[in-house]
Structure 1
Amino acid sequence: MAYKITGQCITCNLCDSVCPTDAIKKVNGSPWIDPELCTNCIGSIHTVPQCIAGCPTCDGCVQISTDYWESWFSTYERLVKKLTKKQDYWEKWFSVYSHKFSEQLQKRQQHQATF
């Protein structure tokens, strides 16, 4: 997770209402960003994270984590989960690809056999 809600939060709930993935949850009355749902607004229509854009504190009760590796592994795990959920896609792709490749190989062998 790249973003965390700090102690400067005034619990205005604006970040919750603008989050496109509903990643901001309430835990013991305090907002918390769920790392499994947060996409940092990457791949969406937004150019900046909406939790930061909607925060009225200006100083930022939502801050970027400074731990590079935590952010890297979080992004990696999120992308791997997206890929593994598409297992049927890759199996279908491989099946179609191998079928087309076999057809082309047979055509080439038949073509070479005629000469």
Structure 2
Amino acid sequence: MAYKITSQCISCKLCASVCPVGAIKIIDGNHWIDPDLCTNCVDSVYSVPQCKAGCPTCNGCKKQPNDYWESWFDTYNNIVKNLKKEPDYWETWFNCYSQKYSEQLQKLNSK
């Protein structure tokens, strides 16, 4: 399953610089991920896809399902998550990281 760059992309080009296989292409200012090159960072030193991990928007790229049932379960899980109002893992991580980072900056600025 390859990833796809969404409309949330802010064209910062961070994903292109961190992709270990060079699957992210920029043509006419539009970013896209070549599904033939994308390996989801499987069989690499990374435990998560680097395009997703490096994205400052946390929604710049999402998994693109390969078949009907994978797409169906992905849609189902997203709907259930929204109904339960459960936060996304990356959203939670980003919020926690931002809070800790701002606390550290405040400590440094107060010295």
| TM-score scaled by length of structure 2 | 0.57
The alignment-based identity, stated in percent, is: 58
Equivalent residue for 1:63?
62
Q: Which secondary structure state, in structure 1, belongs to the residue aligned with residue 52 of structure 2?
A: helix
Matched, 1:37 2:37: yes
Q: Hey, which bits of structure 1, 4+ residues long, moved more than 6 A?
A: none
- Alignment TM-score, normalising by the size of structure 1: 0.56
Cα distance in 2 for residues equivalent to 1:57 and 1:45:
23
Aligned equivalents of 1:39, 1:11: Cα separation in 2: 22
Amino acid at match of 1:18: V
In the TM superposition, what is the alpha-carbon distance from 1:68 to its structure 2 partner?
4.3
Partner in structure 2 of residue 11 of structure 1: 11
Q: Shift in Å at residue 28 of structure 1?
A: 2.1
Code of the aligned partner of 2:23:
A
Aligned to 1:87: none
Give ranges in structure 2 of 5+ residues lacking alignment. 71-111
The answer for the alignment partner of 1:80 in structure 2 is none
Q: Structure 2 CA distance, aligned partners of 1:8 and 1:28? A: 17
- For 1:51, what is the secondary structure of its paired residue? helix
Q: Unmatched 5+ residue regions in structure 1?
A: 73-115
The 5 A counterparts of 1:81-96 are: none
Q: Give the aligned residue type for 1:8.
A: Q
* Distance in structure 2 (CA, Å) of the matches to 1:37 and 1:12: 21
CA distance in 1, matches of 2:30, 2:66: 25
RMSD: 2.0
Task: Answer with 1 or 2: which has the greater Rg.
Answer: 1
| In 2, Cα distance between equivalents of 1:47 and 1:2 | 15
